[in-house]
Structures are given as C-alpha cells and as structure tokens.
Amino acid sequence: MKIFEMLFSEEFLYTSIQLTIPILFAALAALISNKAGILNINIEGSMSVSALIGALISFFTQSFFWGILGGIATGILMGMILAYCSHKLKTSSILTGVALNIFATGFVIFLMYAILGTKGDTTSAPSYAIPYIKIPYVKDIPFIGVLFEQNLLFYIAIFSVLAISLFLKKTKMGLLIKAVGYNPVAAKSVGISIEKTQLVALMIAGVFAGLGGVFLSMSYLSTYNSGMIAGRGFIGLAAEAMGAGQPLLTMLFAFIFGIVSAFAINAQTALNIPYELLNTLPYLMTILALVLYSIRKIRKDKKMNHRR
Amino acid sequence: MSNLIKKGKEFFKKIIVSIKYPNHKQKSKYFNLLRTFVAIMIALLITFIILLFVSKEPFSAISTLLFSPFKSKFWFGEVLRGAVPLIFAGVAASIMLKCGQFNMIGEGSFYIGGLVGALVAIYLPVNAFLAILIACLAAIVITALFGFIPAILKAKLNVNEFVVSLMLNFIMLWVGLFFLQNYFRDESSGDIATQLIPNENRFNILLEGTYLSTGIIIAIIVVIVAALFLYKTKYGYTIRITGNNKNFAKFSGLSALSAIIYSQVIGSAIAGLGGAVEILGGIDGRFSWKSLPGYGFDGFIVAILASNNPLLAPLAALFLAYLRTGATLMSLQTDVASELIQVIQAMIIIIVAGQAFMARYKNKIFKNTEKTVLNSSGEVQ
C-alpha cells in the first residue's frame, strides 16, 4: 500500500509538475514547428544551449530576468539557424537537427570551458534561481493547493498553452502557419511565403525551447550540467504526437510523461526496484505512446478510405 | 595474341579518355569530392574565427589541431585506433541511410555490443581465437535483436524510427548499466567496470609503439562485405531502390518493407560488432562505459562525408579521427577544449548535406559536360 500512499501524496504531485514543465515546453515547441510542417529535432539541442547560456547570464547579472531572456534569445537564435540551413542551404531538416544536436553537445562544454575553465557543470557559477510565486489562501487548499505555489515558469507554461491555442485559431500568423504546414504548395500558390512563415514558427519554438532549458538550469537545479536535458526534447516530440497537435491534449500528455518520470524517481525509495530499471520508464513510455499514436492513425486512415 | 594487345590498348585508351574527358558520372564524383573539400575548408575557417575570440594563442591552437598528429608515431597510431569504431559506425549508418532510415541505434548498440563482448570474453570457458569469435557473434546477435524493434515498428506501423531509436538508446544504456552494476561489477577496480578481460582473449597490438590493435582488420573486412552486400546482391539492390523511392520499389515488385527491416537490423548489428571490437581491442582491458559513447551520431557524420558509400567510410573515418586526435592534442597543449571538434563536425554536416551548397557551380559544370561527352565520343570512334 506504500505505493498508493506515494502516488496520492502532495509531494508526488509536486514532483510530477516539476518534471512536466520542461517536457511541456518542449512539446509546445514541437507543436508549433509541426504545425508549420517541420519535424523539429533540434529542440533537445536548443534546450541544452539555452539552459547553459541562461544559467551563465543569470549568474553574471545576478538577475533571473536577464537569465530567462538570454535563454529565450538563444532558443530563437537556434531556431533561426535551423531555418537558415533548411531554407537557404536546403539541408534536410532532420539532418540539420542531428547536426545542431551534435553542435550543442560540443558547444556547451566548449563554452563552459572557455568561460569557467571547467567541463562538467557550472557549480562554480550557480544560477540565480527563478522565484516561486505563492498565491495566498488558495495555496492552503489540500492537495491541489500545490498548483498555486509553483515556479514562475509553471504559470508561464500554462499561459503559453492557452496563448498558443488562441494564436493558432485567431491570429493571422497562426492561420498562415497552419496553412503552410497543411499544404505548402497551396499556401505558396496564394502568395504566402513559406520560408518566412516557417521562420516565425521556428522562432516561437525557440522561445519555448529556451524556457524549457532555463527551467532546468535555473529552477529545477541551481547549476547546469551537460547531461541535464536527458532526452526531454525528444520526449516532448512524443507528447506532441500523442496530443495530435492540440495544445490542451498535448499538455495532458506532457503531464502523463511528468508523472511517469516522477514515479521513476520516487519509487526508488518507496519500492524496492533498482533505479537503473526505473530510469528506463519514461523512454519505454515514449515508445509505447508513439506506437499507440500510430495504431490510432492507421485505424483513422482506414475509416476515411472506407467512407470514400 | 595480337587480339589481346588490341584489347589492352583499348582498355588504356578508355582510362585516358575518362581522365581527359570525364563523363557525367565521373565528373559528378570529382565534383562531390571538391564540394566536400570546400565544405571542410569553410568549417575550418569559421573554427579559426571562433578561436580568434576565445583563445589567447589562436595560431598555435589551429596548427596543433591540423598538423600535430603527424608528428609522432604514437599519435598517428591513435588516429588509426580512433578510426576503427568510426568505420563500424559509419558503415552501419551508411546501410541505414541508403535505405532512407534515420536510425540512431548505433549509439545503444555500441554500448550493448561492448558489454556483451566483454562479458563473453571474460566468463566463457574457452580462450583465444574462439573466445573472440563467440564474443563478436554474441554482440552481433543481441544488437540485431535490439535493432529489430525500431525496424519492425517502422515497417508495420510507420512509427518514426528516429525518435524510437533515440529512446531505445537510453533504455539500452540503463539496462546495460543495471547488469553491469548488479551482476558483473568488479568491486576491486574501484570503478563501475567489469573484471579484466584475459589477455589472450583480446585483440593483439598490431603496431609496436602504439595502441592500434588487430581489430582494424575486422573493420576492413566489414567494409568490404558491406560494399559487396550493397552493390552486388539482390538485398543490397532492394535497399538502394527503397531508399531512392519507396513507392517505385513497391511497384517494381521489390519488398520495400523487408528492406526497411533488414537494413536497420544489419546496421544495428554492425554497430554492436563495433562495440565488441572496441572493447576487446581497448586500452583498459575491461568494459567501463557509464554513458552512451556517441558513436551513433558519429556514424552519421562519417556516412554523410562518405556519401553513404561503405567503401569511402574508412577515408571519412580516418579524416574524423585525425581531427579528433588533433583536438585532443590541442586541448593538452593550448587553452581550447577538445569539444570544439563537435562544433566543426556539425558545420561540416550542414554544409555537405546542403543541397543548395555550390549547386550553382554544379549546374554550370554540367552544362559543359554534355558538350564534351559528345566531343569525346566523336573522337574515340
């Protein structure tokens, strides 16, 4: 029964939310890129570089605000590089993504060494932490009160989900992005610039990747280390696929991934399962999610064909 | 007899003509080589500009990076040794990319292959040649099984093999670490590592005064077999056609789905073999990897530089290994971190894989080619 106690504790909900935030940002980045017709593999790399730059700027300016802003700017820049490579050099977006991920793994260590003289993490330059915002009275509600004593970025994430869904439905740019992703040839024929639209989408994706990165290095931990993203960018891709391009559903699946990750961490003490095997859970869950998504899609396609 | 001489003369004439007046295919080969070279030069130029900003001694840093591995036999041996796993990874990635599959499983397969190879060589009660043989075969079989997972998911359910293989890498790492920590750890080593592999169950040193092992011979064999497989067998043909155009392969009665499956299984197995060879020919004499070795991504770089041709993979691998050895020396002798190399690699991939890069010149060259082809054929006859 220990397991139930664990699953329904406030602490567990709290850890789940903490682990959901970076996955949710990654999933939002994947969502907006996907809407514009780009499989954005570079989210992982963007998160990594943003996390480092955000952490360093926050340390040197002693302000979380500039740290977050630096992380966002880095994410946007990475998005622009991806757009440049696939539009001007015509490198396939998957290959560019792979290359930029390789770039990120090397660049973060190169930069850390050039600035701090260390290669492992930024312990010598601890990040200036992003504050927690505790809403009085509401936070004292049992269990769900946890939702109202979260990090600033949690509220930004929730706001982003709503904003993105309004952006895609109500604004001109949002509609353009959807049009380009849905049928680029048709979009081009009515005079929409595919390159410009995709560039904007990738820049917005960069904002989210940057936020996900700085959350990890400036709130979840107070230092940056090179392995800290640990595939969360890719897990975000899977959450987006499960959410079928809908912001609210995507948030739900990001939360499920967060719960699984939290379970992998907490069960090490509550249950007697080796942590190595628990660590595989989020990744197993991702594969399972992709398989379920594909099965559902195949069924849907069959139905459509049947109707015709 | 005179007939033979005539044939010989004709043969040489053909070669001379092909050099003087290369046809379309040959010209495109030369052009690709030139293009790769220019891409590398651009990447190195940008590297130098970065060095100007971060290093106090940019000139000595870049010259160490570019020329130092040639200066001693030991470091040149390190270049050759570094090329061996890159050859395996490159051939594995080439076969998968030829089939149009972006599969990153090389990363996890290297890890599991290395672990399985080490365990067989340590615990199996046979020795020398037989132990190495069984260790390699075991690594191949087990990583082939892992490779089957993304392959079958892609073929049957159209699940994106890229994301699945990346997730699978983490799973393979943690499962491997689980066994290593709980069942096979040598406490006396003071590290998370297996026991020492008996000396006679490891590859011998090939070159005195270096760490280069006979494992490089296996790498060469794999290159040749992979090239024969891709270019001379029905299966290889199916892989190539599927990679070019899946629907065309289907309509011509070739089984595209099975090609998608076996290309990834074979790729994974080659990477697994690479892991076993790397550990059995390694310096440590035991398996002590605690994170993914990075060879899955490296394989992609090698494959792109070699334009997915296994025969060119050793050249590309040597080039990369040379740069990396140079980077190691640079980090030892100057104030620049060796990880700069990954930045260079990323730039090379993006430029080489960019279809628009130097496309203008290509069009110009090939406009003229058609004329020369006509001329040369006119002259010869």
pLDDT band at B314 (very low <50, low <70, confident <90, very high): very high
pLDDT at B374 over 60: no
Q: What is the mean pLDDT of residues B245-255?
A: 81
pLDDT band at B89 (very low <50, low <70, confident <90, very high): very high
Residues in chain A within 8 Å Cβ distance of B167: 231, 234-235, 238, 283-284, 286-287
H or E element at residue A150: strand A149-151
Nearest-CB residue to A110 (from B153, B294, B340) = B340
pLDDT at A78 over 90: yes
pLDDT tens figures, B60-87: 888 888 888 888 888 888 899 999 999 9
pLDDT band at B366 (very low <50, low <70, confident <90, very high): low
Q: Which residue of B has its CA nearest to A103?
A: B343
User: How many residue pairs bridge chain A and chain B with CB atoms within 8 Å of each other?
Assistant: 140
Where helices occur in A125-246 by DSSP H, the ranges are 152-170, 172-182, 184-189, 194-215, 232-242
- Percent of chain B with pLDDT strictly greater than 90: 40
pLDDT at B121 over 70: yes
Domains identified in chain A and CATH numbers: 2-129+137-307 (1.10.3470)
Where helices occur in A8-141 by DSSP H, the ranges are 10-35, 43-61, 64-87, 93-116
pLDDT at B50 over 70: yes
pLDDT band at B375 (very low <50, low <70, confident <90, very high): very low
Chain B contact present for A84, CB below 8 A? no
State the average pLDDT for chain A. 88
The β-bridge relationship of strands A149-151 and A132-134 is antiparallel
pLDDT at B362 over 50: yes
Minimum distance, in Å, between the CA of residue A225 and any CA atom of chain B: 14
Give me the amino acid identity at B80. Answer: L
Residues in chain A within 8 Å Cβ distance of B343: 103, 106-107, 110
Nearest-CB residue to B167 (from A113, A227, A283) = A283
Q: Residue B367: what pLDDT?
A: 63
pLDDT at A227 over 50: yes
| Interface contact flag, B350 A96, Cβ < 8 Å | yes
pLDDT band at A9 (very low <50, low <70, confident <90, very high): confident
H or E element at residue A133: strand A132-134
Residues in chain B within 8 Å Cβ distance of A232: none
Q: What is the mean pLDDT of residues A195-220?
A: 94
Cα separation, B308 vs A57, whole angstroms = 42
Q: Residue A129: what pLDDT?
A: 85
Nearest-CB residue to A89 (from B341, B342, B356) = B356
DSSP assignment, residue B171?
H
Residues in chain B within 8 Å Cβ distance of A242: none
Chain B contact present for A135, CB below 8 A? no
Range in A140-154, B124-138, B311-325 the model is least confident about: A140-154
Question: In the CATH hierarchy, which top-level class contains the domain B74-317?
Answer: mainly alpha
The backbone region for B197, taken as left when phi is positive above 0, alpha when psi lies in -120 to 50, beta otherwise, is: beta
pLDDT at B371 over 90: no
Write phi, then psi, for A132 (nearest 5 degrees): -95, 145
pLDDT at B369 over 60: no
Cα separation, A237 vs A250, whole angstroms = 10
Check if the beta carbon of residue B267 is closer than 8 Å to that of residue B105.
yes
pLDDT band at B380 (very low <50, low <70, confident <90, very high): very low
Q: Residue B377: what pLDDT?
A: 39
pLDDT at B275 over 50: yes
DSSP assignment, residue B199?
G
Q: Which chain B residues in 296-325 lie under 8 Å from chain A, judged by CB atoms?
A: 297, 300-301, 304
Q: Residue B368: what pLDDT?
A: 57
Listed by start position, the domains of chain B span 74-317
Strand partners, A134: A149
pLDDT tens figures, A165-199: 999 999 999 999 999 988 888 888 888 889 999 99
pLDDT band at B152 (very low <50, low <70, confident <90, very high): very high
Q: Residue A249: what pLDDT?
A: 92
pLDDT tens figures, B179-225: 998 898 888 887 888 888 888 888 888 877 788 888 899 999 999 99
Check if the beta carbon of residue B172 is closer than 8 Å to that of residue B154.
no
pLDDT at B372 over 60: no
Q: Which residue of A has its CA nearest to B169?
A: A283
Nearest-CB residue to B337 (from A85, A103, A113) = A113
H or E element at residue B315: helix B313-333
Cα separation, B363 vs B181, whole angstroms = 58
Q: Residue A174: what pLDDT?
A: 92
Cα separation, B33 vs B300, whole angstroms = 18
Q: Residue B350: what pLDDT?
A: 87
Chain A contact present for B342, CB below 8 A? yes
Range in A31-35, A38-42, A67-71, B8-12 the model is least confident about: B8-12
Nearest-CB residue to A88 (from B166, B336, B356) = B356
Residues in chain B within 8 Å Cβ distance of A231: 166-167, 170
Q: What is the mean pLDDT of residues A12-28?
A: 93
| Interface contact flag, B346 A234, Cβ < 8 Å | no
Q: Residue A308: what pLDDT?
A: 54
Q: Would you call A132 helix, strand, or coil by DSSP?
A: strand
Chain A contact present for B346, CB below 8 A? yes
Give me the amino acid identity at B373. Answer: V
More confident residue, A152 or B364: A152
Residues in chain B within 8 Å Cβ distance of A268: none
Q: Which residues neighbour B307 within 8 Å (Cβ) at sequence distance 6 or greater?
A: B32
pLDDT tens figures, B167-179: 899 999 999 999 9
